[in-house]
């Protein structure tokens, strides 16, 4: 699920940074999927034992954040929609995940 108010800013950053990489403009959903895949290659997601400790806090009607107990920092955000729960990737998450592509380990995976 994407915040439409931030989608334009995200697409602008996407076009500026990744146009040469993709050779064409791709959909935001594809780019975000690429970010998640790249991030998982560098560092696997936390295991169930870690995720079970998270608390879900309502941050807006129908929108929740997963936080570590006692923390005010959102680890992950979800939005309830008529189709079910959707992942929310706020703009700061898009920018942070874009830096994942600068990781030297990931660059080595792409070499022949």
Question: Domain extents for the chain?
Answer: 28-109
The answer to whether 90 and 75 have CB atoms below 8 angstroms apart is no
For the chain, the 3-state helix, strand and coil shares in percent, each to the nearest 5, are: 50, 20, 30
Asked which of 4-13, 14-23, 71-80 is least confident by mean pLDDT, the reply is 14-23
pLDDT tens digits for 35-94? 888 888 888 888 899 889 999 999 999 999 999 999 998 888 999 999 998 888 777 777
Stronger pLDDT, 54 or 100, i.e. the higher one: 54
- What is the spatial distance between Cα 48 and Cα 16, in angstroms, rounded to a whole number? 37
């Amino acid at each position: 699920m994407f915040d439409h108010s931030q989608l334009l800013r995200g697409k602008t950053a996407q076009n500026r940074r990744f146009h040469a990489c993709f050779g064409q403009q791709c959909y935001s959903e594809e780019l975000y999927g690429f970010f998640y895949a790249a991030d998982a290659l560098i560092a696997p997601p936390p295991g169930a034992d870690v995720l079970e400790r998270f608390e879900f806090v309502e941050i807006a009607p129908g929108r929740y954040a997963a936080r570590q107990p006692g923390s005010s920092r959102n680890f992950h955000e979800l939005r309830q929609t008529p189709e079910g729960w959707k992942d929310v990737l706020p703009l700061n998450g898009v920018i942070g995940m874009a830096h994942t592509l600068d990781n030297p380990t990931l660059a080595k995976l792409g070499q022949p």
